[in-house]
Amino acid sequence: MTNANATTGGLGALFHPAAHYASPSAVLDDGKLSTAEKRIILSSWASDMYAVESHPALREIPGMDQPIRLADILAALRKLDDDDDPPPGGGVPMRLRRPWAAATPSSRTSQRI
């Protein structure tokens, strides 16, 4: 990993979380980060702002030694979605009655004429 200050103009590693992580899986594995913080980091990495010119499937993140595949970043984001609790179930499913479904065949034929 390169020195974050060398690639960020001296702003420090606090402004560039990539300086602390070598890969999307490293972000996922950090137990100190909340799910929302992980999502923010990974989403920022997926941004077109970091796209490698002529290679849109790669992202070049400040502070990292090599580009990261966009597919790996998106897979990590999906993993976050899979780890979230499923949404609460709704009420009893209902089937809306369609007026034309209840019509008799002869009444449907007469309506077409």
- Tell me: the pLDDT tens digits for 45-79? 999 999 999 999 999 998 888 999 999 999 999 99
pTM of the model: 0.60
3-state secondary structure of 97: coil
The pairing of beta strand 51-52 with beta strand 55-59: antiparallel
Extents of the domains making up the chain: 4-85
The answer to whether 21 and 30 are in contact (CB under 8 A) is yes
Residue with tokens 């899986």: 25
Alpha helices by DSSP H, listed for the chain, are 4-8, 24-29, 35-46, 70-83, 105-112
Give me the amino acid identity at 3: N
Percent of the chain with pLDDT over 90: 44
pLDDT at 82: 81
Question: Taken in order 42, 57, 67, 62, is the CA torsion positive or negative?
Answer: negative
